[in-house]
Structure 1
Amino acid sequence: MLHVEINGAAPSIADLHRVAVVNYGHFTSMQVRGRRVRGLDLHLRRLEDASKELFLATPGADRIRSLLGQALAQVAGDVSARIAVFAGSGDLSVPTADVDLAVMVSLTDPVPETPQTPWRVRSIPYVRDSAHLKHTATMGLTGARRAAKSQGFDDALFTGPDGLVIEGSIWNLGLWDGETVTWPQAPKLPGITEQLLTSGLHRIGVPTRPRPVVVQDLARYQSAFASYSWCPAQPLASVDDISFANRSEVFTLLGKAWDSVRWETV
């Protein structure tokens, strides 16, 4: 299933051409179940903040929410949703030029949250441009992911020039030492699933912390997991030659924390 709307209407060829050739914009992705979303307010805030930074303007959270609701009314059942903001018109080479912000809502088949077989991950030196933004310039991360998979790994974990672990290709890394969930601290995208899990873990009394981590430090942890919109806690079997025991208790706690997250109706 694929349903796409730009500003609440079927996209024209000119709209799609603009999206295809102008690689300047940002987006957020979410799972929608019965027109409900976990962390909808965080998704809307992400879009607002990124729009202000990239375009010095915003389409407005109420408008985005309305456009998502309108698109959802055209399909039946659960979906995966991606909302992107881009300049529908205007010369982006001129920073002071007015731009007409467009909102594209794409709906595809839902993705089950059930974890896959634990991933084998390869560390790759790479830092995304404007790493705090979920932007559309994904050539570098896609290339790193392809490189990892070509060597038999399931995905890539990015590291910085200082050796710090940053983030996965499209996910944040969580680490468990038997007592605390650690989120590696580095210039990265603050994932919404990470934020929601952190809040949920605090609700059930499990401590979390941001902390700088280098690849060699990973051997100190019992379990590791990828956290992203498709799955809140995808187990990792290994990073390079460092293996994880993936103790069941942490995934039970993560599941309990995730179940505590409030759903919001679109």
Structure 2
Amino acid sequence: MSTTGFGRPDTLGSDMLFPMTTLNGQPASLEDVLPLALTSYGHFTSVRVEDGRIRGLSLHLERLVRDSRAVFGSDLDTGRVRDLVARALDGHSGPCVVRITVHDPTLDIGRPADAGRPGVLVTVRAAGAIPLPPLRAKSVPYQRDLPQVKHCGLFGALHARRVAQLAGYDDALFVGPDGHVSEGTTWNVGFISDEGVVWPEAPVLPGVTMALLRQHVEHRVVPITLSRAKTAQAAFATNTAIGVRALTAVDDTPMADEHPLLDRLREAYLSLPGERL
């Protein structure tokens, strides 16, 4: 049997199941995920599970409910979501990342207005150890569509990441049309200055990790131009999978990868007990 360049058989049938992925509690088939692959119309959240606990679980569930109303005009049963995630995790040990995607498997690209029966797709993968090595970020002009929604339309963000990586950097830092820094490809960004921890005031995805850190560490939210960002003493990326990750450069401007406030942010995040499903 021949394979594609991704190590999968090129004779996949609609009855072949994707390991570690379920739709509404049942193993997901190609037909279940094909509409999502072809349209990217849906929304999701990702959670890091350690010892059966999830930091910010309630905030992740609130996001799913809020985004379901924005994307599909429908409510979402969070109790059912909890149950589906718990079932998907049955038998798994060690830290893992669970992605919960809400999409309508019957979506017709010609009639997205009819999409209103979303299902819950749950994917489980092993989680890497944290903290992760620092990042070098390249500024890229870009602003996500509907930045307040964690939607599945990742082309623009991933293209920005590709541009940054081809230029020799690790990832992209978005700069909006007004010249203000907003966020990274899949992470929020924060800066440390004489004023303490500063977050950009800009159209961004309201990240759960960012929200948790704001609850535990004093901060300010202000507009930050790219030039101002480069005067920061330190900078960091945050999301559920990476926790708090230092940035050691923005474009050709170096940043410190160690700072007392970076240590405090990491400690605050790691000390959160998490919630059980």
How does the TM-score come out when normalised to structure 2? 0.88
Q: CA deviation at 1:244?
A: 1.6
CA distance in 1, matches of 2:95, 2:227: 41
CA distance in 1, matches of 2:105, 2:68: 13
Alignment-mate amino acid for residue 21 of structure 1 = L
Q: Please, which of 217, 227, 230 is the counterpart of residue 228 of structure 2?
A: 217
Structure 1 residue ranges without an equivalent (≥5): 202-206
Alignment-mate amino acid for residue 152 of structure 1 = G
Q: Which has the higher contact order (CA 8 A, sep 6+)?
A: 1
Alignment-mate amino acid for residue 187 of structure 1 = P
| Number of the residue aligned with 1:250 | 261
Give the secondary structure class of the aligned counterpart of 1:82. strand
| Number of the residue aligned with 1:172 | 188
Deviations 1:59-114 (A, max 9, x none): 31111111001111143333111000001225465465362211000000112122
Give the secondary structure class of the aligned counterpart of 2:129. coil
| Number of the residue aligned with 1:148 | 164
1:104 pairs with 2:121: yes
Alignment-mate amino acid for residue 143 of structure 2 = V
Q: Please, which of 40, 43, 49 is the counterpart of residue 32 of structure 1?
A: 49
Give the secondary structure class of the aligned counterpart of 1:216. helix
Q: Please, which of 44, 47, 50 is the counterpart of residue 67 of structure 2?
A: 50
Q: Please, which of 152, 175, 197 is the counterpart of residue 159 of structure 1?
A: 175
Q: Please, which of 124, 130, 150 is the counterpart of residue 113 of structure 1?
A: 130
Q: CA deviation at 1:197?
A: 1.1
CA distance in 1, matches of 2:256, 2:115: 54
Does the C-alpha gap of structure 1 residues 244 and 76 become closer, same or farther in structure 2, counting only changes over 3 Å? Answer: closer
CA distance in 1, matches of 2:70, 2:195: 38
Q: Are the counterparts in 2 of residues 200 and 261 from structure 1 also a CA contact under 8 Å?
A: no
Supply the RMSD in Å over aligned alpha carbons.
Answer: 1.8
Give the secondary structure class of the aligned counterpart of 1:209. strand
1:187 pairs with 2:198: no
Alignment-mate amino acid for residue 238 of structure 2 = S
- 1:67-106 pair list within 5 angstroms: 67-91=84-108, 93-94=110-111, 97=114, 99-106=116-123
Identity among equivalent pairs (%): 36
Q: Are the counterparts in 1 of residues 230 and 250 from structure 2 also a CA contact under 8 Å?
A: no
The number of aligned residues is 260
Alignment-mate amino acid for residue 122 of structure 2 = V
Deviations 1:205-262 (A, max 9, x none): xx20111000000233111111112222211111112222334311221122113423
| Number of the residue aligned with 1:135 | 151
Mean CA deviation greater in 131-140 or 18-27: 18-27
Give the secondary structure class of the aligned counterpart of 1:258. helix
Q: Are the counterparts in 2 of residues 2 and 108 from structure 1 also a CA contact under 8 Å?
A: no
Give the secondary structure class of the aligned counterpart of 1:161. coil
Give the secondary structure class of the aligned counterpart of 1:75. coil
1:199 pairs with 2:221: no
CA distance in 2, matches of 1:143, 1:59: 31
Q: Are the counterparts in 2 of residues 218 and 242 from structure 1 also a CA contact under 8 Å?
A: no
Mean CA deviation greater in 209-218 or 82-91: 82-91
Q: Are the counterparts in 2 of residues 31 and 111 from structure 1 also a CA contact under 8 Å?
A: no
